[in-house]
Structure formats: C-alpha cells, structure tokens
Amino acid sequence: MPPKTSRIAGMLVSRKALTGWTGALLLVATVACSSAVDDSPATSDAASAQTAGDSPTAQSDSPRADSAGTAPDTGQPIAASPDEIADDVIGDAPENTPANLDQPGLGQTLTADEIAAAFESVIGRVFTDSLDSVVEITVSTVAGGASGSGFVWDDQNRIVTNQHVIADAERVEVTFSDGRSYAATVLGEDPDADVAVLQAETDDRLKPIALGDSDTALPGQIAIAIGNPFGEEFTLTQGIVSAVGRSIRSGNQGFTTPDVIQTDAAINPGNSGGPLLNRHGEVIGINAQIRSDSRQNSGVGFAVPINIAKMVVPDLIEHGEFVYSWLGVSGHDVSRVLAKALDLPDGTRGAYISQVIPDGPAEDAGLNEMSRTIRFEGELVDVGGDTVVGVDGTPIRSMADLISYLTNNTRPGDIVMLEIIEYGGDRTEKRVELGVRP
C-alpha cells in the first residue's frame, strides 16, 4: 500500500467511533485519496402484475382493494411543465477499501479539509465525466409542452429517458450542455417500467454514459443526480441511496416496477429521465418520481433500476415495446395476524393471493383467492386465499419478491412451479403457464 493510502487507512481506525455523515465522509475520503495515489461513482404488490386504485396489490385487473398489506409508493412523475421551467444508514464498505485498516499508529494525520476536498473531488469527477452524456429533453404535444432529462445509452446515438417525459410527443429535441441540439424520434416506449428510447438524428458521435449494476446499490452509498429541474439545465444534486427494493406504479399504469431505488438526492420536476449515478460515475437508476404533496423535492425520490432498463431497452429498440409475463393475481404480504388467521406455520412469510383474475393463468392453474372476511384479534382479515412461498425453488417472502422474480426471470409462455401454502396450512405445488400482461 502506498504511504499516503496507509496513512488514510490508519485514520479510519483511529476515528472508527465516528458515525453518520462524518463517518461516511471519512470513508469517501479514504477511497478518493487511495484512488488518486493509484491513478485509478413502496412496498408490496404483485407478481408482474397490475394494481388497482390505491389498493395494496399488484397484478390486478380488479378495482377491489385488499384489507391488509401496504401500498406501493405512489410517487409523482417529475417532468417539468412549461410553467415550471424558469438515524443515518451507512452501507457496506466498498470492496477497494484498504485492507489493513487495523494497523495501529497511522491515524490522526488526515485533516478535515483533506476529507472535505476528497469528497468534493469524487462528486466533481462524476459530474465532469458524465456531463457530455446527459441531455435536456424538450417535448411538444397537442396540449402544450414539457421538459425532462435523459442520457446517451450507446454508440448508436440512442438516448434513454422516462416514458412519461415523451408521452404523446409530436416533436422531441435533445440538447447537450455545450449547446448542441438535435431532433429525436421515439423508437420505443414501456409505460409499465416508465422507460423510453429515443434516436438522436445526427451523424455526430455522441458519448455513451457508463452503466452500472443496480443490484449493487445499498443504503448509505453516495447517489448523484444530474438533470434539468425547473428548466435549470444540467444541475447536479447529491445525497445517498436511502432504500432499495421499493415498488412504484408508473403514472396511471396498474402494474408496478420492482427493485426501485429510493434516494434523498434532490429531485424535482424536470429531473425525470436523468441518471442517478454512484460514486464511480455509473448509472444505477433513472430518476422517475418523487413523493411529495407539493410536486417539489421532499427528500423521497425514486429511480427505476438500471437493470430493468437493460432488460427492456433492447426490445424497445428492436420491437418498440416490451412484453411482460403475467400471472393474473392481486395480493399483498403476509402479516403476523394474517398468518395466524390462515393457520399457516409459525414464521410464514410470502405473497398472499387475495384475488385471482378471471380467465387468467392463475385461475387456469387452480390458485385460490380470498373467500370471506373474518374478524381476528380485533382486525378484519380476508381469508381463503393461497400464499406463495416459492417460485422454481426461489424463496418468496413478500409480494415484492414475487413481482421481482417474475419481472426479471420470466417471459410470456414460460412455465413456473409455485410453492403454495393453502388456507389451513397444507403445502402443495401448482404449475402455471404465464400469459401476456394485458
């Protein structure tokens, strides 16, 4: 290890009692300085399914609400309208953190100014490296216009953004930070995942942004958003990954997107479609929604995971759409009270089926929905439905798990084996041939 890296590593040990943001800054400073030396960035619903209204379900074609479970985060799309244009959690230490952090006597040599400067250098480098790949998107529609953000996806001048940014567009224009501006055409849209692909109409060679792996995102990691809030072009905001594994609905779509990243990096109208980056400058998400009563940042923003985009974008380019598999159920998580009311084994977790959609794959496979409502331990509980606890050997502990598995691992026509615990506690398996999401 280079001397300076060892000195910084020792500093971590001597100040290991630091917590919260001070500890996070110290970790960032260590990584930043060592890199410089070496020269080297809402909850339950259902299976690939549709939710109705404000019910805590997903994959439902029915407007009926369930009586248990929690609803997916219902955020607001954050494309800017014309009038708008004018206890800390620290994630796991990065893998390249110096290994000999337990060496004594090397600390007390890194100043607060050095820590702050190292942190600033990380943020600044991410912004500089990514800026040439980020665009402002201006859209004209019959109803007026809007603006949002996007980023260059590949070396074929394709640009990715949110579907709600370009919905019903008659004309689309993309503008880079150096003033270059090009017309763009829409190649494909996926309203369920809120992802769209544009083709910039130019012979210029655009610079693709670096793509990361959203599965590696952890609470406490640095999160950096670049976009055009309120028409303020190419604005950088920074925070942390606040949570992972959220589920959100896209606009008026009844289906949910799983594995969503939550961040407290400031996201406002106009940020939609822009990248959420890690400290390596890699895109881990596409900024899509905020949870707010005022349509302004409240510290709760949501980004579509980049791994979902990696899955759907090739089909959007080739076919203009992405076709999802469909199980045909609505449901929610199994609570403690529900498990007791269903007479399930102690500690059972899973996805409870409250509704089976008529003529859907689940009905054909013989899955059971709730049959009656009872009062149990002072609560009204729907009973009679099946509880999914596994798919193809993969444990299912929540409705979000079921959505995520079906979205990421299956396509229409696939056959899956569901491990079921029926009302009363009997365990069985049911074979389902998945359909096409309606």
Chain segment 116-127, per-residue pLDDT in tens: 999 999 999 999
What does the domain layout of the chain look like in residue ranges?
3-41+91-130, 134-200, 214-317, 325-436
DSSP label at residue 344? P
Share of the chain above pLDDT 70, in %: 74
CATH code: domain 214-317 is 2.40.10.10
130 has a pLDDT exceeding 80? yes
Please list, in sequence order, all residues whose beta carbon lies within 8 angstroms of the beta carbon of residue 170, skipping any fewer than 6 positions away: 140, 141, 142
Whether residue 404 lies in the annotated active site: no
Taking only Cα atoms into account, the Rg of the chain, rounded to an integer number of angstroms, comes to 24
Mean of the per-residue pLDDT values of the chain: 81
Over residues 95-101, the mean pLDDT reads 45
Q: Hey, is 251 helix, strand or coil?
A: coil
Rounded average pLDDT over 267-283: 96
For residue 309, the one-letter residue type is A
Interval 297-303 mean pLDDT: 85
Segment 50-93, tens digit of pLDDT: 333 333 334 433 333 343 344 455 555 555 544 444 332 223 33
- Token pair, residue 385, equals 């439905």
Q: Identify the active-site residue in 66, 194, 386, 401.
A: 194
CA distance 123 to 128: 9
Helix axes 20-38, 3-14, angle to 10 degrees: 170
d(CA 41, CA 215): 15
Domain 134-200 identical in fold to domain 214-317: yes
Highest mean predicted confidence (pLDDT) among 94-103, 285-294, 374-383, 389-398 = 389-398
Q: Which of 34, 272, 330, 398 is catalytic?
A: 272
Lowest mean pLDDT of 143-147, 261-265, 331-335, name the range.
143-147
3-class state of residue 119 by DSSP = helix
User: What ranges in 365-422 are assigned the alpha helix state H?
Assistant: 399-409
User: CA–CA separation, 66 vs 378, rounded Å?
Assistant: 17
Catalytic residue check, 194: yes
What one-letter code names the amino acid at 326? W
Instruction: Give tens-digit pLDDT for 154-205.
Output: 999 999 999 999 999 999 999 999 999 999 999 999 999 999 999 999 999 9
Share of the chain above pLDDT 90, in %: 68
- Any residues with CB less than 8 A from the CB of 120 and at least 6 apart, and which? none
pTM, full prediction: 0.76
Q: How confident is the model at residue 252 (pLDDT cuts 50, 70, 90)?
A: low
To the question of domain 325-436 being in CATH 2.30.42.10, the answer is yes
Identify which of 276, 236, 424 has the alpha carbon closest to the alpha carbon of residue 348. 424
Contact (CB, 8 A) for 244 and 236: no
At residue 110, the pLDDT reads 83
Comparing 81 with 301, the larger pLDDT belongs to 301
Residue with structure tokens 């500690």?
Answer: 347
Coil/strand/helix, residue 125: helix
| 272 catalytic per annotation | yes
At 317, phi and psi to the nearest 5?
Answer: -70, -45
Do residues 399 and 44 touch, judged by C-beta distance below 8 A? yes
**Which of the residues 164, 264, 332, 333 is marked catalytic?**
164
Token output for 237: 């905001």
The top-level CATH class assigned to 134-200 is mainly beta
> 336: which residues sit within 8 A by CB, 6+ positions away?
none
